[in-house]
Structure 1
Amino acid sequence: MIQTIKVTLKDGRILSYEKPVSLYEIAETVQKEYPYPIMLAKTPTGFKELCQVIKEDIQDLEFVDLSQKDGMRVYQRSATFLMIVAAKRLKPTCNIYINHHITGGYFCEFEDATMSNEAFIAQIEDEMKQMVGEALPISKYTFSTDEALKLFEKEKMFDKKELFKYRRTSTINVYDLDGFKNYFYGYMLTNTRWITLFKLIPYAHGFILQFPKESDPSVLADFIPQPKLSEVFRESEQWAKIMGVDIVASLNRVISQGQAEDLIRISEALHEKKIAQIADKIVAKEKVKLVLIAGPSSSGKTTFAQRLCIQLRVNGVKPHVISIDDYFVNREFTPRDESGAYDFEALEAIDIALFNEHMNRLIQGEEVEIPSFNFVTGQRQYKGHRVQLEAEDILVIEGIHGLNEKLSYAVPKENKFKVYVSCLTQLNIDHHNRIPTTDTRLIRRMIRDNEYRGISPERTIELWASVRRGENKNIFPYQEEADVMFNTVLIYELAVLKQKAEALLFGVDRQSPYYPEAKRMLKFLEYFLGMDTTCIPTTSIIREFIGGSSLHS
C-alpha cells in the first residue's frame, strides 16, 4: 500500500506526495508560482534546506526564492563553493580566500599570488559554467566532530580544524561537490544547475565573484570600482596581520592564551593613530572649515567625531560640533515615503537652503544662531546657541547626508573635508566563510537599542530592512566622495558583543517571525569565545554600544 504525506502550504493549500518526499521535489511542484528560483524552504520551526527529506505531514510550508535576503545568501554561499571547487579541478593546489563584500560581490584572492592573472581567473569562470551544465549534486553529510577534524587535517583545511577546536558541538555538517568536501556556515543549494548567474572580475590583487543584483536577481549586480573602499579593506587586512588575527580561530586562541589585553591595546592604538592621521590631513588643508562625517547605522560616528575633535585640538584647532538633524524642516514639511510615513532620512527632510546659508556665514566669520530641532513637537527652535568661528576654529558636522554634495552645494569645495565612517569587518570565520559587515552593525545596534532606548531585539531586527534601504539610497552611493575613510571595527569586538547579544537573542520567542534571524545570529556567535571588557578604554568606539563611554553622557 502506497503511503502519502500531506503538505499544507502557508496559503492553506494541501498537496499530497508519496512518502517519503524531499523539499526539493515539493519545490519543483510549486516553482512556477515564484518569479525566481527557489533556494530554501521555511517551516514554523525555521529554515530547511531543499535536500531535507520529509517523512511526516508538514504544516505551514513556504519557500524562499532568490529575490529574498535569505535566498540570496544561499545562492552566494553555493556559488562560492562552486568557484572553490572549479579552481581545484583546474589546479588541485589552488587555494582561494574569500574576503569582504564589495561592489556587488565577494573580493577573493589566491593563497599563491602567482596564480592571480586574468587568464586563470577566466578559466575558473569557464569551469564553473561547465559544472553548472553538468548539474552536479551538492550533498550534505553529518560527521562527528572527531571525524570532521580528521577530514580537515587530511585536506589541509587547518583554519577549519582550529575553528572547531573552540566550538562546543558533537557533529559538523560537511558539503560535498564533485568529490570535494568543505564546511560552510549556513544553508546550501542541492545542485549546481541553479547557480546560473555569476561573473569573475579581475580586481586589485585578486578578483571579485559577482552575484545577481539584490533588487533584480535576473541580472548581475553592477560592477562599480571602489578604490577608496578597497584601500580601507586592504589597510584593515594589514592591521589584522600586525595583530596575527585574521580568522575567528586566531582570535579565540589569543583569548584562550590570556593575551586579550595586549590585543585590545594594539587595536585601540591603531585606531588612535589613524584618527590622529586624519586630523593631521584636515589641518594640513588650511582652507578647510567644514568636516563632514557620514556613515551607516551603528558605525560609531558619534564616538569617532568626539575623538577626532580631541585630535584636532592637539593640532591647535578648536572644533565646533553641529548636528545636521538640527536643520530638519518643521514636521508639516517633512516628506513621506511610499507607505505614507514620515521619511526623516530623505535629503528633503533637511532645510538645505538654511544650512548652506549658515555654513557660508560662519566661514565668513559672522556670528550665527544655530537651531535646535525639537523631536517631540516636530518644530525648529532657537535657544541662543550662537557660534562664531575664529581663525583656528573648524566645524565638525555629523549626519547621514554629509558626503552628498547636494547637502553643502553652496559651500566651496576647498572649505570642506569629507570623512566616511563605517564598520568594515576584517575578521572572517575561516578562509571560505566571511563575516558580513551588516551583521556586526546589526549586533551593535541591537545592544545599543536595548541598553539605551528600551527597544527589543525583535523590533531592531524588524526595522533593519528599512534602515538598510535608507543606507543604500542615501549613504553608500556617495562613499567614494569621501576625502578619507575610517574603519571603526575592532578586531576583538565580536567576542565582547557576544556576551550581551546572546542574552537578547535567546529572548526572541520561537513563534516570532524574527526567530529565524535570531537563530542565525546565535549560531554565528557560537564560533566566538567571550572576552572580558574590563580593560577596554572608556574612549573606545565599542563603548558607544556596550556602555561605559567617557565621551557620551
Structure 2
Amino acid sequence: MAVQNRIRKVRKRDRSLVAFDQGRIIHAILRAVQSVGGFSLDHVPGVNERLFSYGDDEHIAEFLSDVVVATLNRDQRHWIANFPPTVEEIQDTVVHVLRSFGFVTVADAYECWRWGKYWVRAGAITMDEFVGNGYPVPLHHETLAWNREHGCDTVAGLNEIVRLGHLPELVAAATERYERSVDEAATAVLARAATGDLRVIWVSGPSSSGKTTTTVKLLQRLRKEGLEFLMLNLDDYFWPLVEHPTDWLNDRNFETPEALDIQTINRHLRALLDGQAIQKPIYSFKEGRRVGTKLVRLKEGQLLLLDCLHGLYPPLTTGIAREAMFWLYIEAANMLYEGDGTSERLTQFTDVRLLRRMLRDVKHRNHPPLQTLLHWHYVRSGELFSIIPLMGLADHVVNGGMPFDLPVLKPFFLPDGIWPKPEEVAPYDTFLDARIRYRRIGSLLGQVAGLTLWEAEDHALIPGDHLVREFIGGTTLQIPHNE
C-alpha cells in the first residue's frame, strides 16, 4: 500500500538534518520481528489476523512502516523542511503503531533494543553489556536444556508431570538449582567484600521476579559470614501523589524510575558512604505523601543493601565508584513451549510475572486483579526502559522463574479464583494491551493442569521459605524492614 509522504528530512540526536529513509523503519521493525521469531507470535484473532494476508514478515513490516509515515504526516510541522520529526519521535511512533496493531511482543523487543542502544550512547553500558531485545541467550539456553532434561519444556510435558504425581521431584530439583544460584551470588559478594572496596549491594530486576525472597536468602548467607547491613526502603522516596497525575483509567504510573526522588536518593547514598547521617523520608502510602523523617547513619563496617526495581538506573548511582557496588539481577525466565512444542511458540515470561503480581496485589495491597491487568502496560514500559536493557551491568544473575509456576498459580485464578470475569474486562475492550494479555493468559491457564488449592498451600510440597511463597502466601521468612 503506497502512502503519500510529506516528510523529507529527519532531525538526528546531534540536531543535524538528514534525508528521511522509510527503509530504515522497515529494517528496524524486521530486526525486532526476527529476534522474537516472527510476527506470528503476536497473531491475535479478531485483532490483527487480516494483516497476515499481506504475506510474509517483510510485507507486514512494509505495511506498518506506511502507517508510521501516515501517522507522522498528521503533524503539519513535519512538512516544513526545518522542523522535521526527530529520531525519538519516529521511534515513539513505531512503538505506537506496533502496539496499536496488537504486536506486543515485537514492540517489547523493539523498545528494549531502542533503550539499550540509548544507554550505550549515554556511556552507561558497553556494547558487550548490550542485551539486544532483552532475551539473554546463554541464560535461556541453559534454562531450556535443564527443562528438557526434566521433561518440563512444554505445557504437555509439565501437565504429564502433574498428572503422574511427579511434581514434588520437579519442585525439589528446581529449588535446588535456585538455591545453588543464590549460593553463587553470596560467594561472589564475599569475594568482592574481601577486597575492601565493596560498599553497596543492589538487588534489582523486573516486577515480581522474586527480589524480596532472594534478598532475604542472600542476607541469611552473608550474615553467617559476618557481614552487617543497613537496608534502606527506597519506597519512602516516592513523590507525593499530587505530583503523580492520573490517566484516563484513573491510574498512576509508579513504575518509572522518576516516580522516585532520584536526586535525593543519590545525594543520600553518597552522604551515607561518606560517613554522614541523613534525614531519610518516611512515606505514608495511606496519605500519599511524606509524613516525617528518620535519622539514619551507616555504621562502621556496614554495607548498604538496597532492593530496588530500578537499581541499575544510572542516575541513582552517579558519583559512586563502580568497584564499590555489587549488582545482583533477578530474572524470572522459564523456557516453556506451548502445547507439545510442535508450534515452537514459547509462553511469555511476563505473563507469569503478571499472575504473580496479581496475586500479591490482592493479598498485600488490596488491589483487584483487573486493576493490575490494566496497570501492566506501565510495568512493561518502565522495565523496558530502565531495568531489562541494563541487565548486562549485573555482577550475577539469579533466575527466579520456576518450571512449576503455572500449576501452582492456577488454582488461585481458575476455575473459581481471582481471574477477572469476561464481563469485568468487557468495558475496557478497546484497551488493546490488557485485552491481548487477558486472552493469552486465560488461554494458557486453560491448557495447564493445575494443583488444588490444598496442594498449593501444602508446605510439604512447597517449603515455607520458597520464592513462590512470596506470591501465593504462607511464607515462613522474616521480611526485613527499614533500619
TM-score, normalised with respect to structure 2:
0.67
| Cα distance, 1:378–1:284 mapped onto 2, change above 3 Å | same
Greater strand proportion: 1
Q: Is the 8 A contact 1:288 1:415 kept in 2?
A: yes
Q: Is the 8 A contact 1:232 1:486 kept in 2?
A: no
CA positional deviation for 1:547: 0.7
Distance 2:244 2:191 in 1: 39
2:313 matched to which residue of 1?
Answer: 404
Q: Is the 8 A contact 1:104 1:213 kept in 2?
A: no
Q: Is the 8 A contact 1:291 1:396 kept in 2?
A: yes
Distance 2:367 2:273 in 1: 40
Counterpart of 1:388 (choices 281, 298, 305) is 298
Structure 1 position 226 matched with structure 2 position 141: no
Structure 1 position 530 matched with structure 2 position 450: yes
Distance 2:96 2:392 in 1: 21
Please give the per-residue CA displacement for 1:178-209, whole angstroms capped at 9, x wherever unaligned. xxxxx99964847553434389xxxxxxxxxx
Please give the per-residue CA displacement for 1:351-400, whole angstroms capped at 9, x wherever unaligned. 33432333233334445453322223444344546342332x32111222
Structure 1 position 297 matched with structure 2 position 202: no
Q: Is the 8 A contact 2:328 2:395 kept in 1?
A: yes
Please give the per-residue CA displacement for 1:10-46, whole angstroms capped at 9, x wherever unaligned. xxxxxxxxxxxxxxxxxxxxx999xxxxxxxxxxxxx
Counterpart of 1:355 (choices 257, 265, 290) is 265
Structure 1 position 521 matched with structure 2 position 441: yes
Q: Is the 8 A contact 2:230 2:298 kept in 1?
A: no
TM-score, normalised with respect to structure 1:
0.59
- Letter of the aligned partner of 2:262 in structure 1? I
- Letter of the aligned partner of 2:448 in structure 1? F
Partner secondary structure for residue 395 of structure 1: strand
| Cα distance, 1:338–1:457 mapped onto 2, change above 3 Å | closer
2:174 matched to which residue of 1?
Answer: 267
Distance 1:263 1:387 in 2: 45
Please give the per-residue CA displacement for 1:276-305, whole angstroms capped at 9, x wherever unaligned. 111111121131211122222222222222
Greater helix proportion: 2
Please give the per-residue CA displacement for 1:249-301, whole angstroms capped at 9, x wherever unaligned. 22122222221111111111111110111111112113121112222222222
- Letter of the aligned partner of 1:412 in structure 2? A
Structure 1 unaligned runs (5+)? 1-30, 34-75, 80-101, 109-124, 129-137, 139-182, 200-211
2:13 matched to which residue of 1?
Answer: none
Please give the root-mean-square deviation of Cα atoms over the aligned residues, in Å.
3.9
Counterpart of 2:225 (choices 290, 296, 315) is 315
Identity over aligned residues, as a percent? 25
Structure 2 unaligned runs (5+)? 4-28, 61-92, 118-129, 430-434
1:459 matched to which residue of 2?
Answer: 371
Counterpart of 1:494 (choices 406, 431, 440) is 406
CA positional deviation for 1:493: 0.9
| Cα distance, 1:394–1:104 mapped onto 2, change above 3 Å | farther
Q: Is the 8 A contact 1:248 1:528 kept in 2?
A: yes
Question: After superposition, where does 1:58-457 map in structure 2 within 5 Å?
Answer: 105-106=34-35, 187=45, 189=49, 193-197=54-58, 214-217=95-98, 221=110, 226=131, 229-286=136-193, 287-330=197-240, 334=243, 343-382=253-292, 384=294, 386-391=296-301, 393-429=302-338, 430-431=341-342, 432-457=344-369
Distance 1:353 1:552 in 2: 31
**Which structure would you say has the larger Rg?**
1
Counterpart of 1:475 (choices 362, 379, 387) is 387
1:550 matched to which residue of 2?
Answer: 476
